[in-house]
Structure formats: C-alpha cells, structure tokens
Structure 1
Amino acid sequence: MERTIIISDVHGCLTQLEALLHLVQFQPRRDHLILLGDLIDHGPQSREAIDFAISLVRDGAATAIRGNHDQRLIEIVNGDPEAIAKFFKHGGQATYESYIGPREQRTETEMLRELQERIPAEFPHHLDFIESMPHYLEDESYIYVHAGIHPDYVSDWQNQPLREFLYVKEPFISQPTGLSKPVVFGHTKTIDIHGKPDIWFGADKIGIDGGCAYGHQLNALVVTGDGELRMYSVPA
C-alpha cells in the first residue's frame, strides 16, 4: 500500500536524510517522498543533497517543493542584492564549500564571485532543477508547502505571492487557515512553536521542521495508504 513520506529542511544534512529514509523503510517504487524545500545551506552536503533529490524526482519517487534557501541560490547567481546580504548570515558558507571547496583565505566577495561563475558553468542542471521545483503540492488529504499560506490570500492561495510560500511564519502559524485541508509545512522550526523539535500538530496545520541543521533532529511524517499518520526522526 503506497505511503506518502514528508520531510522538510534537509539543509545539506544528507547523511541524516539517508538514515531517516532507511528508518522509515522508504521504497521508491511504492512510496512517494515529498521534500518541503531548503535542501541547501548550513549542513555539509548541499550539492549532494540536490543531486540526491534530482535523482529521486527524475525517477518519479519524489516531489521537491521550493524553499527560500533553494530560491536564494538562484538569486545569488543572478546578483540579487538582498540575497547576497543574507547568504553568509544564513548558512551560505557551507553551500560554498560543498560546491567549490574549503574557504581558505577567500573573502566573502571572492566566494560570491566564484559561486556566480562556477555554478552556472558546472551545475546548470541544479539551477534548472530549482527553477522547476513547484511552490506547493496538493493531494486528496493535504496541502504541502515550504513555509505556509498567508491568511490574506486564502481565497486564492495557489496564487499567493511567491515570498509567502517561501517565508511566511505569522500570521499563518497562529491563525486558522480557513482551508478545507490541513497544511503540512516546514521552514519554522517546531522547537520555536511548541518548545521541542518533534512534529507539531495544530488544529489545521502540521509543522515538521525538526531543525536538523541547528543541532536538533530530522523528522518524517508518514501518511499510510489508509490515512494513518506515523512520525519518525533521527538526531542531528
């Protein structure tokens, strides 16, 4: 019986992702994996995490939804000033080292220039993959997004601004969504919602970001073929 396995905010923690998939006994031919964005930054294997996701998506075993950190890599390559200002403050050096190598004596300006030159030249398929990542996924039971759905756009949530899909926290977390299906989301660490890194169940939403890249855990929410919910985690 097919299962849906949802994992968010891998952030370059590929070792933990592989351990978690082993724990849940992921079967690519029978199960469907949904990755709720932020494959890169902070953790040591950003490039490898994208390669891993590309392979699963190509084989039809997974859907990878776009996160704000994934989007930022495109913006860095395009020279977006806001993205450049945030990059190294939010885990960007780990991504640089995964793609390029040890920082050594390079300045941040030099590292950015290398990323802007070498990623389009050597990893254009990674940029194409990020561009192809949807902003949401919906099935008969749930809506899956990276960050959430802003209440201001609930009447036409599929067309809410991209920034809301990638960044919204409040008022999404504290207010009812008004939607007919629960929203499964990442982005906001669950320890910031209910004081522990375990999966958080709200009345109409489920937060699953266990903060693996911040020293907590990587969570998986598994929806069985008969709709039962099961929870798994591996430590950071």
Structure 2
Amino acid sequence: MHMLSRPSVLRFDWRPTIRTLPEGQFVAAIGDVHGHDHLLAAMHDAIRRELDELGPRSAAVIHLGDLIDRGPRNREALVRARAGIDGASAITLRGNHEDRLLAYLGGSPAALGPWLDAGGEGMFTQMGLDPWRISPGEFRARFGEDLARWLEATPVMHRIGQLVFVHAGIDPALPLDRQDPHTLMWTRRAWIDSPGPYPEGVAVIHGHIPRRTVDFRDRHRIDLDSGVVNWGILSGLVFHGDRMRLLQVS
C-alpha cells in the first residue's frame, strides 16, 4: 500500500483584505483539490484552527470546484467537501471537472470519453470499475444516488457581500445575474486578459488556472489554484473583517 506522508501546513501573516466583510463574519475559500483528499483534510484542519482562534459569529467554507480527477482519492474529496467543517456552512461550487462527471451521471454514454480525457479514469480505478464495461446508470448506483443528487445541486457561483466565488471566472461584460454557467466553470483566456474592475465593484475569488504562487497584487481577483497536480500545493484563503490570510498545505 502506498502511504501518504503527513502534509505540511503554511500559515501566512494577515494582510489587508481585497474586500471587507461585516464584523464577526468569517469566510474560507479552498482552491482546486483534484482528488488529493489528504491535503483537503489537512486544509480543513487548518481552517478549523482559524475558526477556533477567531470565534466568529458566522462562518462559511467555500470549495471552488474541481474536487475530482487527476488525483488518488476523488470520491473521498467530494464526500469531505459535502461534510464541510463543524461550525461553518459548507458551499461546494461546480468546476469544469464536476461538469464532465455530471454529464456522465446524467446518463450520457457519449460523455465518458471527454471525462476520461480530463482525468476521470482515476474515479473508476479507485472504485474498482472498468469504464468500458459499465453503463452510466450502473456507475451512478455504485457512486451513490445521494452523493450524485448533492453534486447535481451544486451552484456555479456564490456571493458574500462584495466577494464573488466561482470556479473559473466571470464575463466582465455581463451583469452578475446574467452570467453563463459555462463561463463560470470553464472560462480561461478571455478571463486572464480582463484585469477588472468587475460588475458592481466585486472582487472574484476563483481557481481553474494553476499558478505556482498566489498573487495578491490584483485588487479585483485572486486565483487560488496553486497547482496541486503540478506542484503538490493546495491553497486556502481566510477572510475575516478587513483582513485575509493565506493557508497552504503540501
């Protein structure tokens, strides 16, 4: 059996926040996990310590999508995200990899190839299944109807005050209430070339585009995909009042 080493945790200093939250409110966002459930567990523990230390009046933990694919424990990462952290509401956003999985869970055999191309074979391997010898309906039964229905209900955007959370990005030319779900899960090049400001003056917290370091110079968006597949680093960002703190596990 391959044994995973204990993750290391980096807790950075507080810095001025990109947008201020009401007093007593706590929000934590977690970047792309890609099946690295042991790192997600360590991140949840780190966020729990922040909650215990700060004792906020209200708290929310937001997973920014792409919990699955290209890692060793895909289904477990979904289960952990769904369970969340005691003392905080849990929100899991849908990423482009969940979008592929949901097309297959919806009963389309044609969705198998694109999902496998995106790294979906790991889910079948960990479940002991051959993707070419099982139907979508049979897979759904093994995957778990309750978990499938939860995943089907995941949102593609969540807003708290002047912070907007999505997986990939937004279309800066459109109001927030007219965004295309495909854009929120999949956009890349057009989004990278749009420095802001964005509709209603919001800041956007997203993943999807792996970067070695989390860049805080932009006053309108923060990318929390720190390349867990490429460099083994999972990033989270804690917001509390007028400050924010980066957490990383690796």
TM-score bucket (shorter structure): 0.7 to 0.9
Name the counterpart of 1:38.
66
| Structure 1 residues 83-94: aligned runs within 5 Å | 83-94=111-122
Partner of residue 17, structure 2: none
Whole-angstrom CA distance in 1 between matches of 2:244 and 2:72: 31
Confirm or deny: 8 A CA contact 1:184 1:208 kept in the other structure.
yes
Q: Which residue of 2 aligns with 1:8?
A: 31
| Equivalent position of 2:226 in the other structure | 210
Give the structure 1 partner of residue 124 of structure 2.
96
1:1-236 to structure 2, matched below 5 A, reads: 1-24=24-47, 25=49, 27=51, 31-56=59-84, 61-77=89-105, 78-79=107-108, 81=110, 83-98=111-126, 100-101=127-128, 106=130, 108-110=131-133, 113-114=134-135, 116-120=137-141, 122-152=143-173, 154=174, 156-175=175-194, 176-179=196-199, 180-189=201-210, 191=211, 197-201=212-216, 202-224=218-240, 226-235=241-250
TM-score, normalised to structure 1's length? Answer: 0.82
1:135–1:229 Cα change, 3 Å: same
Name stretches of at least 5 consecutive residues in structure 2 with no aligned partner: 1-23
Q: Which moved more, 1:9-18 or 1:172-181?
A: 172-181
**Partner Cα separation in structure 2 for residue 227 and residue 89 of structure 1:** 42
CA positional deviation for 1:157: 2.7
Tell me how far 1:151 sits from its aligned partner. 2.7
Counterpart of 2:187 in structure 1: which amino acid? Answer: V
Native 8 Å contact 2:108 2:136 kept in 1: no
Q: Report sequence identity in percent.
A: 25
The 1-side partners of 2:180 and 2:85 are apart by: 25
Structure 1 residue runs of 5 or longer lacking an equivalent are 192-196
Aligned partner letter, 1:206: I
| Residues 228 and 147 (structure 1), Cα distance of their counterparts in 2 relative to 1, 3 Å cut | same
Identify if the C-alpha distance between structure 1 residues 205 and 126 changes in structure 2 by more than 3 Å, giving closer, same or farther. same
SS at match of 2:158: strand
In proportion to residue count, which structure has more helix?
1
**Equivalents in 1 of 2:238, 2:86: separation in Å?**
21
SS at match of 1:72: helix
